[in-house]
Amino acid sequence: MALTPAQVRLMDDQAHAARAMWNLLHDWWTMTPKCRRSLKAADEAVRQARKEIDWLGVLPAQAAQSVLKTYFQAWRNCWDGRAGEPSFKARLRSVMSVDIPQGRDLNIVRVHRRWGMVNIPKVGRVRFRWTKDLPVGKRADQENRITGARLVKDALGWHIVFRVQTLEPTPEPRHGLEVGIDAGVNLPLALSDGNHQDHGRPPRLPDGKADRDKWLNTGEKARLLRLERRAAHRKSFRKPGQKTSHRLKRTYDQIKQLRARATRRAVDWQHKTTTALAKQYGVIVVEDLHITKMVKSARGTVEKPGKNVAQKAGLNRAISQEAWGRTVTMLTYKTARHGGLLVKVPAPGTSLRCSVCGFTTPGSREDQATFVCKNPGCGWSGNADWNASRNVLHLYRMGHALIPAAGRAVVRRARRVKPATAR
């Protein structure tokens, strides 16, 4: 969004008010007896707070109601076992956002091919970059229309995401090719048929250390290094308890912008890759990975200190950068959208078992990238990730899928709703 400095301040105030409204609701909920908790009582408390607290008035009434509905939905998700309990939103750890639940208040107009105009409550007319087709004007009807929007801020500025309601036929089940996928570090997505998906960026530097800035080019990496050194130099002059200077804040903002640019490139690669896989294959089999346990630190305790702590920390950083969980999430709804199916199989043993003879022998993984079967009657060797992907597909064909019925239910639920967004 192209905003003036005054509009940026107004939207920042609304986002802080929305976060404060959530925290006040959370305090009200925890302090109110269970017999008095209800949506009606919470709505009355929100209305009273907006009248008595001046700075909450900068948040539009519809946006405040959206915070209330989102908070109650968070508790429903907790009660149904889909998420944890709602918690306090800290200023530094929460994303600044404001919801616009009424689509009729937006008044979207396309200025030309690249830019459009939208009306933001209590902010005014704002230009935004037109990146996707939107049902506006004669193209809008009851079956294809904009129902609302959400304003989100990141290191690169404010963005607007439109909620679009569309009517689409349920795709017919597609019995296409079956493929097993193993998510790795050296090879991001290894496929059982050899059609590996690589983003062309090595996970490690020549000295063996993990490259946390692999999505930046050479010039951007050099600029990031200069900014980090500049931030460390300016931070050395700050005394304990002293506020951060404006120069240091500006340097931190520039570092965040480069990090956000790298994240966008990674997400863009994931979207394009998962879309191509969902169109090509009818059944996609992945491992049921517990990533939180995989990236657990090996530091240990004082009584039992860990081993190879630095190497494990680098591996954890490389795993987190690949964002395997986000890839599986994308594949789940995209395969459902194209009539396919995503299945999970047990992960233990897939990387240590030979995909040719089926035996697990000690010492087969000579290094992170190569698998050599130590069975005297086999001796097969090849890429370790490719070997694991073949084992993943074999487990599915042998009937070791984890709760296939639940997977089909997820597919049916994903087919009913297809969100379309524009930024």
For residue 241, tell me if it sits in a domain.
no
Residue 254 has pLDDT above 90, yes or no: yes
The model's pLDDT over 60-75, given as tens digits with 9 standing for 90+, comes to 999 999 999 999 999 9
How distant, in Å, are the alpha carbons of 236, 250, 262, 351, 405 from that of 369? 42, 41, 25, 11, 35
Percentage of the chain modeled with pLDDT above 70: 93
The model's pLDDT over 393-414, given as tens digits with 9 standing for 90+, comes to 888 888 877 754 334 433 333 3
CA 82 to chain centre: 17
Which of 110, 145, 166 is where one domain is finished? 166
Question: What integer pLDDT is reported at residue 417 of this predicted model?
Answer: 34
* pLDDT (mean) for 327-353: 88
Whether 79 and 188 map to the same domain: the answer is no
Question: What integer pLDDT is reported at residue 355 of this predicted model?
Answer: 83
Which of 166, 192, 226 is where one domain is finished? 166
The model's pLDDT over 297-313, given as tens digits with 9 standing for 90+, comes to 777 776 777 777 777 78
Average model confidence (pLDDT) across the chain: 85
Lowest-pLDDT range, 9-18, 23-32, 316-325?
A: 316-325
User: Would you place residue 208 in the very low, low, confident or very high pLDDT band (cuts 50, 70, 90)?
Assistant: low
Question: What integer pLDDT is reported at residue 205 of this predicted model?
Answer: 64
Residue 418 has pLDDT above 50, yes or no: no
Whether 201 and 300 map to the same domain: the answer is yes
Whether 90 and 195 map to the same domain: the answer is no
Residue 416 has pLDDT above 50, yes or no: no
Rg of the chain over CA atoms, in angstroms?
25
User: Would you place residue 421 in the very low, low, confident or very high pLDDT band (cuts 50, 70, 90)?
Assistant: very low
Whether 23 and 144 map to the same domain: the answer is yes
Distance CA 217, CA 221 (A): 6
Residue 423 has pLDDT above 70, yes or no: no
Task: List Cβ neighbours of 338 (8 Å cut-off, separation of 6 or more).
Answer: 171, 174, 278, 279
Query: Which domain covers residue 88, as residue numbers?
Result: 1-166
Q: How many domains does the chain have?
A: 2
Contact assessment for residue 158 and residue 142, using Cβ atoms and an 8 Å cutoff:
no
Percentage of the chain modeled with pLDDT above 90: 36
Whether 81 and 26 map to the same domain: the answer is yes
Whether 198 and 100 map to the same domain: the answer is no
CATH number of the structural domain spanning residue 411: 3.30.420
Distance CA 316, CA 312 (A): 6
* pLDDT (mean) for 12-29: 93
Whether 142 and 191 map to the same domain: the answer is no
* pLDDT (mean) for 204-224: 78
